Amino acid sequence: MIRIENLSKAYHKNQVLKDVNIKLDSNKIIAILGPNGSGKTTLIKSILGLVIAQEGDVKFNDQSIVGEWEYRKQISYLPQIARFPENLKVLELIALVKDIRQQEARDNELIQYFGLENELKKPLRNLSGGTRQKVNMVLAFMFDSPVIILDEPTVGLDPVAISRFKELLEREKAKGKLIIFTTHIMSLVQEISDEIIFLLEGDIYFQGSVQDLINQNGSTKLESAITNLIENSHA
Ligand SMILES: Nc1ncnc2c1ncn2[C@@H]1O[C@H](COP(=O)(O)OP(=O)(O)OP(=O)(O)O)[C@@H](O)[C@H]1O
């Protein structure tokens, strides 16, 4: 579905992605992992066309995304930090995004699912951090997009909301979608991902299943397998 081919991106002298090659297929939940500053958000933004790489290409259904924007209608995106005008009310924000996208939306169902009924008339500046993230969840899941990209989706969410989020992801995957997410919470990765892509200093250090990573790095837990992976890479 998505192919990243020989992608290199530098911000001035800071080489963030180095000749990255990845294939991302439907019907999977894929976790992009790596230490702070390893290039996860840059990689995601390259898929979305928000970051322009110096070299390489991103193909969506075998077509290069360079100069294209129509393909974006097939992707839903939850950014790491969502920036919207603070005076907008929740209901107005949802209406605005629906208006821009012009696609059928299941916002009401998700508002109930995340218990946001009493927040709809509040301006964004009055929302708690977790409630903001629930609103972002509604925006990310309300269109029936074949690809869903989530940059640190569980930040600020309480345990009930996290459990609802996981349930939602499984349901979306069952529809044959491709779900890509980043997180620093290894228990979440172990629980829900089919595949891991591990980035380190702009290189792909590992791509495969959680079990393969654990087996390769001689540990029983994902967290220690990743620590071993990083330590071995500096050896
Ligand atoms: N717009 C930008 N201009 C200049 N440098 C940038 C820009 N965006 C990111 N960077 C740099 O690129 C590198 C990778 O950043 P990126 O946000 O992709 O990392 P990340 O893996 O998502 O990190 P984190 O886990 O902290 O979210 C960092 O060194 C960062 O400072």
ipTM score: 0.97
Over residues 142-171, mean pLDDT: 95
Is the CB–ligand 1 distance for residue 11 below 6 Å?
yes
Beta strand 195-200 with 28-33 is parallel
CATH number at residue 34: 3.40.50.300
What single letter denotes the amino acid at residue 108? N
Residues 6 or more apart from 169 whose CB is under 8 A from it? Answer: 29, 179, 192
Helix and strand numbers (H, E) in the chain are: 8, 10
Q: Which H or E run contains 215?
A: helix 210-216
**pLDDT-based confidence at residue 171 (cuts at 50, 70, 90):** very high
Structural domain count, the chain: 1
Q: Would the pTM count as exceeding 0.90? A: yes
The response to whether residue 40 sits with its C-beta less than 6 Å from ligand 1 reads yes
pLDDT at 219 over 80: no
Flag the least confident range among 29-38, 59-68, 220-229.
220-229
Give the closest residue (by CA) to ligand 1 atom 25.
36
Query: How many C-beta atoms lie closer than 10 Å to residue 172's C-beta?
Result: 19
Token pair of 20 as six digits: 């990255």
Mutation to probe ligand 1, out of 12, 15, 16 (largest number of atoms < 8 A from CB): 16
Ligand 1 pocket member 14 (CB < 6 A): yes
Which pairs count as long-range contacts for 51-54, CB under 8 Å and 24+ apart, including other chains? 51/9, 53/7, 53/8, 53/9, 53/17, 54/8, 54/9, 54/10
State the residue range of the domain holding 206: 2-233
- The helix (H) or strand (E) run that includes residue 184 is none
Mean pLDDT of 65-75: 92
